[in-house]
Structure 1
């Protein structure tokens, strides 16, 4: 039986680049032949989530939300737009970071849908954050002598937003790789504005847990941290701030290894992906360290 992968993301009417990482990860997954069909659907762009299931012919569909945390979009908007028959907000039985998958039927297409938890809460996301630190510093062994700030939006409207950030910060802290690891936020304490006050390390890597670069990651956070007074003036990486060096990485979702998280989500839900996880890890490592390379050929 053929199987399809549908990656669902927010998208934007205002920032046409917000969908670029989603398409790039879909291209990577398509190149390694993990699924018979790989498509993307968006809330704010075309193809719309409501119609995306009609763009694949497979009866078996794995849907992975490219969102950082569980909440309104993953628990209400996406299931509603996909018309998942029998969906309930407690279907994942999650504590806010432990969503796995649930198998339901799309009411209008009759397809069997394996609806997965968001990419952002999967354990493999921890590896992507670390890889992001490696990429921005150019050092695959970065850690000793460095602090790491994992930054989220934070909001009083959804406690799960901060849970995902804390979860990955805790996992990285347990690795004992970086001298210090802190979770910081834009809209709640501890705030990223005061990033240098939370670290003794002279070098601090800052990785925002956002799917795509946009207003928050390109304007708000750099200005709030003091990298620049006006984001349009630009800044260096690293940029000196308060006697420390800030290595600002930009949105974690733009990291090529993110494709691995998406595949792992689907694999956990029962997708037959063969050796695609290993192949994607190899492909993204080559692409990032050597400036691009041909993908290994897909299995026949």
Structure 2
């Protein structure tokens, strides 16, 4: 008999609130009626002691799981961490960058790798709800979607592809005049903001939209620091807490269950 289980992996943080918001989203997903008999464990890439990836694997195997969905709760397939996690589960690297997680111990469960959020349509709706308080006249406003990014070949291109698609979804959904993207790695934010401001139809400030799972160091410190001295509108809202993240988790889990049962 097959017994499915789900390991949701996110990055981890020293900020308890960051961890709490992730855990609440995962717990809410696990409570969906369709997942009533499916063990779901929230684990972290680093920092959160006792809750790391190997800990999560062990918990699921102790629960008798034979088919394990590894679901990366990351915003982009361009994250080098997602590839590192895949390598540690025995998948080949997508580029020349070798991960340093070693190899995870999996005794009997078959591993099925899921995919990150990328340009999911409902996440575009979530971002629109985050910035609505900042918008006065969408048809005359421009948006700048800002995310972590990567300098590494392959990963940079993946980040850019996902960001561009998501920014265009958000622009169309909200009826905005224009939308651009910027990564913090490499440092593009200030330059891209200046470019958008020059072409802003209304002459108003550009709305800066952070694409991060939860509020923390990057939304509170890094983005404002990179844009210091520039004119823009920003409230630092992240994806969590929002039920759209839980709904995304549930959709990934249910879709996978249909393929293994």
- Partners of 2:57 and 2:42 in 1: how far apart? 10
Structure 1 stretch displaced more, 28-37 or 49-58: 28-37
| 2:131–2:209 CA contact under 8 A, matched in 1 | no
The answer for the alignment partner of 2:31 in structure 1 is 31
Deviation of 1:27 (Å)? 2.0
Deviation of 1:192 (Å)? 4.0
Find the residue that maps to 2:74 and give its secondary structure: coil
Q: TM-score, normalised by structure 2?
A: 0.74
- Partners of 2:187 and 2:150 in 1: how far apart? 10
Determine if the alignment matches structure 1 residue 150 to structure 2 residue 145: yes
| 2:190–2:227 CA contact under 8 A, matched in 1 | yes
Unaligned regions of 5+ residues in structure 1, if any? 95-105, 230-240, 274-300
Deviation of 1:79 (Å)? 4.3
Work out which of the residue numbers 259, 265, 270 in structure 1 matches 2:246.
259
Deviation of 1:198 (Å)? 0.8
Q: Flag the 1:249–1:210 CA change in 2: closer, same or farther, 3 A.
A: same
Deviation of 1:175 (Å)? 4.9
| 1:148–1:206 CA contact under 8 A, matched in 2 | yes
Q: How many residues align?
A: 235
Unaligned regions of 5+ residues in structure 2, if any? 96-103
Deviation of 1:193 (Å)? 6.4
| 2:4–2:66 CA contact under 8 A, matched in 1 | yes
Find the residue that maps to 1:248 and give its secondary structure: coil
- Partners of 2:180 and 2:216 in 1: how far apart? 23
- Partners of 1:182 and 1:116 in 2: how far apart? 28
The answer for the alignment partner of 1:276 in structure 2 is none
| 1:186–1:192 CA contact under 8 A, matched in 2 | no
Deviation per CA, 1:116-155, whole angstroms, max 9, x where unpaired? 1223x2x42x422332332343599994444322111233
The answer for the alignment partner of 1:271 in structure 2 is 257
What pairs up with 1:17-166 in 2 under 5 angstroms?
17-35=17-35, 36-44=38-46, 45=48, 46-56=50-60, 57=63, 58-70=65-77, 71-80=79-88, 84=89, 86-90=90-94, 108-119=106-117, 121=118, 123-124=119-120, 126-138=121-133, 143-157=138-152, 158-159=155-156, 160-166=158-164
The answer for the alignment partner of 1:289 in structure 2 is none
| 1:132–1:207 CA contact under 8 A, matched in 2 | yes
Deviation of 1:215 (Å)? 1.4
Q: TM-score, normalised by structure 1?
A: 0.66
| 1:205–1:248 CA contact under 8 A, matched in 2 | no
The structure 1 segments of at least 4 consecutive aligned residues displaced by more than 6 Å after TM superposition are: 139-142
The Cα RMSD (Å) is: 3.3
| 2:34–2:254 CA contact under 8 A, matched in 1 | no
